[in-house]
Structure 1
Amino acid sequence: MSLLKKFAAVPVMAAVLASPLSFAKDLDYPTKRLNYTIAFGPGGGNDLMSRTVVDILKKYKLYGKNIRVDNLAGGSGAVGFNYVAQQSGNPYHLTSTSGNFLGTPLVSNTGWTYEDFTPIGLLAQDAMFIVVRTDSPFESAKDFVEYAKNNRITIGGTGAAGPERVVASLFAETAGFTFDYVPSQDGGGMVTSLTSKSVDAIAANPSEVSGQIKAGNFRPLAYSEAQRSTVYKDVPTFKEQGYDFAFSLPRGVVMPNDLDEDIQQWWVETMKKVVETPEWKEYLTTNSLSGNTVWGDDFAKNLAATNADFKRVLTNIGAIK
């Protein structure tokens, strides 16, 4: 039974969440202010996630000292992530990951990669749908593939080399069809490309198409995470339908390298408490994110696998020379 079900009253939950971690009774931590760096500007997805985490840490007294939050934007995340990477050995720095945490080092000389950080946890997964109009003949991914193998097919997305194109390319590669990719400048333009029938399908973040799905205008055919979304539980994964790949953007937390393993474990256990709070669950639902979590060294493996897919697709489309 989860903490949320077991302790419905918030004051009781606060007492339970704030209790000392059993393995860390002899660990003299924390003793200083925490510096939480957001590698992007205010108002974006990474900023929202980071501030939600910090608010929960404060509300439930999960971190016993002050917390300073700084937006250090620039270079598609390169500036902020570089700052944290340079704090090697310092256990008082955290940052939140996103797609750019992997993508930016692949296309730019940042001086760091995901391997230059200590993995704490994947708190949420920002995966993609392949979506069609409800008046289309495609009821499943199989229907779509059968048509695409014998006809010209178009799939839209945001940007020329973003996660939408990665998911569409992995789908086509695994299923054995070709397609024309139609990039839009933003999510609104991508949605319009489907409603106007300019494309046959789009690869889209659930939050970008949730309104159209609820209105009955769009039909999601498949979900790109390894497990079903905790929000859209009726949408099957690509793997369930016989297409053996998974891809999602890592909404996680990392720290600088060269930290004591006890510090890493302290934060793993603390973040496990964060994701059990009603505030976190509301954040997931509001932003159409999946709450399937991965912790510690398993998060490192997840990052490595996602990075490999990202790199292969970006190389194939010429974004990486």
Structure 2
Amino acid sequence: MRDRARTRIPLAIAVAGALALAGCSGGDGGGDVPAGGWQPDGDVTMIVPFAAGGGSDRAGRALAAAIEAAAPDVGVSVENREGGSGAVGYSHFLGRNGDAETLLATETALLALPASGDVEFTYEDFTPIMKIAEDFTLLVVPVDAPYQTCPDVVEAARGQRVVAGISGTTGLDNIVLSLTENETGVQFDRVAFESGGELIAALLGEQIDIASLNPGEVIGQLESGDLRAVCAFAEQRYDYGELQGIPTATEQGIPVSFAQFRGVLAPGGITEEQRTYWVETLRRALETEEYRSYVEESYLQPITAPADEFVAYLNENRALLEEALKS
């Protein structure tokens, strides 16, 4: 089972890239919104299903700014509804069925929460609008920790308790730790937090030994020297200057990589006209300086997929996540 998971996850990322290229060439939802078509009547709410300060919060705020730049007549307010590793926010959003003036900044929890069996919704209960980027993660330790590499962390976990902080029980960090456990046979002692900001505080306060964090969440602490990255759970090293020296886990003999997607959902039950409006608005948002700055400052891969292509990506990765989260 471990061999299958290791070989299929890179394939999923490759498939996602191919879908993104197809989306950039035209894809689904084409054309401009017809004159007199549906438009929001008043402000739009962007729900973030995690606490302020983490990667999902930054994504939601960046998306709100990009939408406002792409559609100047639309104001977007961000509303954090954290709790239950994202379940609280997604469940609230489920109750907004038919409300096309509410959006949600989505990520891997959209698939991982249903895979955990703890919620009654799936992505099919919502309206996927656009995948806007992919985000990998780093294994981070305090600067004075004894670990210099990912294998050092694994070896420590063979003989002692290594406390790993995770942002929610179904997020990207829990997935890469689970895959690492599958590959190496060790077990980490997990402590769940609600955001990347809380994870960083716990690392700095020595409440936990290691944490998996997105580069955009932790770049400040890496640059200041307060924290240190021992590896990247990515297909290849980052091109970004500050991160080029961080080896991948695969380079160090632990073949684990997995991308968290970032995207936008509308509620279920909206009309085709409303869906088309949001697909076209997000297409324009991806061309704004706000979006480009967000991708660069958050160290993301700008691999996008609109509407039906986003649905295909979600369908492919649902099976992969279900396998990765098996224990």
TM-score by length of 2: 0.65
Identify if the C-alpha distance between structure 1 residues 68 and 217 changes in structure 2 by more than 3 Å, giving closer, same or farther.
closer
Residue 303 of structure 2 aligns with an amino acid whose one-letter code is T
Aligned residues of 1:38 and 1:95 also touching (Cα < 8 A): yes
Cα distance in 2 between the residues matched to 1:252 and 1:110: 20
Identify if the C-alpha distance between structure 1 residues 301 and 139 changes in structure 2 by more than 3 Å, giving closer, same or farther.
farther
Matched, 1:294 2:304: yes
| SS of equivalent residue, structure 2 residue 95 | helix
* Aligned residue among 173, 185, 190 for 1:177: 185
Identify if the C-alpha distance between structure 1 residues 291 and 101 changes in structure 2 by more than 3 Å, giving closer, same or farther.
same
Aligned residues of 1:129 and 1:222 also touching (Cα < 8 A): yes
* Aligned residue among 85, 102, 107 for 1:98: 107
Residue 32 of structure 1 aligns with an amino acid whose one-letter code is Q
Which residue in the other structure is 2:16 paired with?
A: none
Which residue in the other structure is 2:138 paired with?
A: 129
Residue 292 of structure 2 aligns with an amino acid whose one-letter code is K
Cα distance in 2 between the residues matched to 1:168 and 1:140: 15
Identify if the C-alpha distance between structure 1 residues 291 and 269 changes in structure 2 by more than 3 Å, giving closer, same or farther.
farther
Which residue in the other structure is 1:81 paired with?
A: 93
Aligned residues of 1:128 and 1:203 also touching (Cα < 8 A): yes
Aligned residues of 2:126 and 2:266 also touching (Cα < 8 A): yes
Q: Which has the higher contact order (CA 8 A, sep 6+)?
A: 2
Aligned residues of 2:48 and 2:60 also touching (Cα < 8 A): no
Cα distance in 2 between the residues matched to 1:42 and 1:136: 27
What is the deviation of 1:129?
Answer: 0.9
Matched, 1:24 2:36: no
What is the deviation of 1:302?
Answer: 3.7
Cα distance in 1 between the residues matched to 2:217 and 2:80: 26
CA RMSD, 1 decimal? 4.2
The C-alpha deviation readout for 1:40-67, integer Å capped at 9, x for no partner, is 48845545533432333333xx337545
* Aligned residue among 149, 153, 156 for 2:164: 156
Identity %: 24
Which residue in the other structure is 1:319 paired with?
A: none
Identify if the C-alpha distance between structure 1 residues 28 and 209 changes in structure 2 by more than 3 Å, giving closer, same or farther.
same
Cα distance in 2 between the residues matched to 1:189 and 1:291: 26
Matched, 1:254 2:265: yes
| SS of equivalent residue, structure 1 residue 33 | coil
Residue 57 of structure 1 aligns with an amino acid whose one-letter code is I
What is the deviation of 1:169?
Answer: 1.5
Which residue in the other structure is 2:128 paired with?
A: 119
Residue 38 of structure 2 aligns with an amino acid whose one-letter code is T
Identify if the C-alpha distance between structure 1 residues 94 and 159 changes in structure 2 by more than 3 Å, giving closer, same or farther.
closer
Identify if the C-alpha distance between structure 1 residues 64 and 180 changes in structure 2 by more than 3 Å, giving closer, same or farther.
closer
Matched, 1:303 2:314: yes
- Structure 1, unpaired ranges of 5+: 1-21, 317-321
Which residue in the other structure is 1:219 paired with?
A: 228
Identify if the C-alpha distance between structure 1 residues 32 and 207 changes in structure 2 by more than 3 Å, giving closer, same or farther.
closer
Matched, 1:33 2:43: no
What is the deviation of 1:170?
Answer: 1.0
Aligned residues of 2:141 and 2:228 also touching (Cα < 8 A): yes
Identify if the C-alpha distance between structure 1 residues 123 and 82 changes in structure 2 by more than 3 Å, giving closer, same or farther.
same
Cα distance in 1 between the residues matched to 2:59 and 2:161: 35
Matched, 1:58 2:68: yes
Aligned residues of 1:128 and 1:225 also touching (Cα < 8 A): yes
Cα distance in 2 between the residues matched to 1:215 and 1:122: 32
The farther-off stretch of 97-106 and 245-254 is 97-106
Cα distance in 1 between the residues matched to 2:57 and 2:36: 26
* Aligned residue among 260, 271, 285 for 1:274: 285
Decide which structure has the larger Cα Rg and report it. Answer: 1
What is the deviation of 1:156?
Answer: 1.5
What is the deviation of 1:24?
Answer: 1.7
Identify if the C-alpha distance between structure 1 residues 154 and 308 changes in structure 2 by more than 3 Å, giving closer, same or farther.
farther
Identify if the C-alpha distance between structure 1 residues 268 and 158 changes in structure 2 by more than 3 Å, giving closer, same or farther.
same
